[in-house]
Amino acid sequence: MLLAESELDIIECDSAEAALATMLLRGRDVAMIFADVRLSGVMDGIDLAREAKMRWPHLVVVLTSGNVGEHHDRLPPGVEYMPKPWKPVNVLAAVQRAKLSAGGR
């Protein structure tokens, strides 16, 4: 909701598989992936992050979860972790970093 009310174009996906399919089609238009560690489907957020960072290494990927220690040690290199409950200012700061790294897309 926070991101939907901003000036950003948001692509919402129901699963990690749908997010990867979207990235394959529109990856040049995407500056950041913000996902929960737990996702529906075969892949979880960590699998999504790993695949995204392999294919698009400069993409900002932020994972979130309410279980801080549960998955933190499995995060791929370069993936940010934002524990729940996160503060809106932290999410917006990640968005700004993503926009800067993507050249303002």
What ranges do the domains of the chain cover?
31-101
Average of per-residue pLDDT across 21-30 = 90
Asked whether the predicted pLDDT for residue 31 surpasses 60, the reply is yes
pTM for this model (two decimals): 0.88
- Give the model's pLDDT for residue 28: 83
Confidence at 27, pLDDT banded by 50, 70, 90: confident
Asked whether the predicted pLDDT for residue 74 surpasses 90, the reply is no
- Give the model's pLDDT for residue 99: 84
CA 16 to chain CA mean position, Å? 10
Give whole-number Cα distances, 67 to 21, 71, 84, 100, in Å. 27, 8, 8, 30
Spatial contact of 39 and 51, defined as CB atoms under 8 Å apart: no
* CATH architecture of the domain with range 31-101: 3-Layer(aba) Sandwich (3.40)
